[in-house]
Structure 1
Amino acid sequence: MAKYLVLYRADVSAEEQMQQSPEEGDASMQEWMAWAGKVGGALTDFGSPVGNGRAITSAGTSSSTSDVAGYSIVEAADADAAAALMDGHPHLEIGTIEVLEAIELPGM
């Protein structure tokens, strides 16, 4: 089984997404937990929202303009199987999901 990094992309930052009523937050978390239950053991790291990023180049550091709002890690037989795990994911209501294979380094 290969590991896949799941990136949750959105026009609204994770911080802004969490600016909701407690009832809305609970309902949203229930949807995420239902997805996690459906995926089961393929979800090896639920992940978390991300924010306050920095872009780092050889010229220095600046605030990040990335639209990545969070991540998870899943295991699957191949990229198509990993993508299929995202079927019905609640994040798709507000953004997109990118699934990237973690390539094993020889000798590591």
Structure 2
Amino acid sequence: MGKFLALFNGAADEADKDELSAQQQAEFLDAWAAWAQADHGALVDPGAPLNAKKRVTARGVEDFVDATTGYEAGSHDEAVRIFAGHPHLRLFEGNSIAVVECR
């Protein structure tokens, strides 16, 4: 059995995030909490920002920053079902979640 990762890709930059009102932020956090509670048992890892990122190229190594966050689920279909309703998808136009298998 493989590992299945849900990788969150954020379309917003810092300026977009700063434009969220306190009410919008609170509504998102409430929606996220409801989502997390509904399927908490189906996730192998409840997720975390992916930090300390390094990009390796022929020219060398450099630090980089992006908005990707990762979660781990037990099956591909289960991960797709869980993340299809995630509030991240409605927060900013262009946000997406890639569900991939690690072999």
TM-score under structure 1 length normalisation: 0.68
CA contact (8 A) 1:2 1:101 kept: yes
Counterpart of 1:33 in structure 2 is: 33
Q: Please list every run of 5 or more consecutive structure 1 residues that lacks an aligned counterpart in the other structure.
A: 104-108
Give me the whole-angstrom Cα distance separating, in 2, the residues matched to 1:23 and 1:29. Answer: 10
1:84 paired with 2:81, answer yes
Counterpart of 2:68 in structure 1 is: 69
Give me the whole-angstrom Cα distance separating, in 2, the residues matched to 1:60 and 1:44. Answer: 34
Give me the whole-angstrom Cα distance separating, in 1, the residues matched to 2:35 and 2:15. Answer: 22
> Which structure: greater helix fraction?
2
CA contact (8 A) 1:36 1:43 kept: no
Cα distance, 1:45–1:38 mapped onto 2, change above 3 Å: same
TM-score under structure 2 length normalisation: 0.70
Counterpart of 1:100 in structure 2 is: 100
Residues paired across the two proteins, number: 99
Structure 1 residue 26: Cα displacement: 2.6
> Which structure: greater strand fraction?
1
